[in-house]
Amino acid sequence: LLNLEDRIHIADDILKLVSFGAALFVDVGGTTTGQYGDIFSERLYSDVGFGLRFAFPRSTGARVFRIDVAFPLRDGPDGSSSFEIRLLATGGQLFDALLGSEKSGATEVNFAKGTVD
């Protein structure tokens, strides 16, 4: 899985309630139960899109509400077509809003290889 996102801050702390921003993104990911090479030849899916970000800086944990519009770049295994518009509304952030220098504690990275019976 790979996600590239460029965030743009438009207005901070409007009426001391909400901050407003936007994002452009590219997502790429794949999975397989066979050889790793199958991911690149058969099971790699990606999309491009843009979205709006509404942050509530005065809430505990700096909550974010996201509205994204995404365009898949190939037909999906569920019968969906490429460039069929996807509208997503979610809460939370995929990435932490804090800078690396503001964080404390260990950073964790996981990689696993296994078999499926």
> What is the distance between the alpha carbons of residues 27 and 3, in angstroms, rounded to a whole number?
5
Residue 62, pLDDT score: 60
Predicted pLDDT at 42: 75
Render pLDDT for 50-80 as a digit per residue (tens, 0 to 9): 999 998 877 666 678 889 999 999 888 788 8
First to last CA, the chain: 23
**Ramachandran category for residue 13: left, alpha or beta (phi over 0 → left; psi -120 to 50 → alpha):** left
Using CA atoms, how far apart are residues 40 and 112, in angstroms rounded to an integer? 18
With DSSP H G I counted as helix, E B as strand and the rest as coil, what are the percentages for the chain, rounded to 5? 5, 45, 45
pTM above 0.85, yes or no: no
Residue 25 near residue 32 (C-beta atoms within 8 A)? no
Amino acid 64: pLDDT:
82
List the chain residues with pLDDT less than 50. 99, 101-102, 117
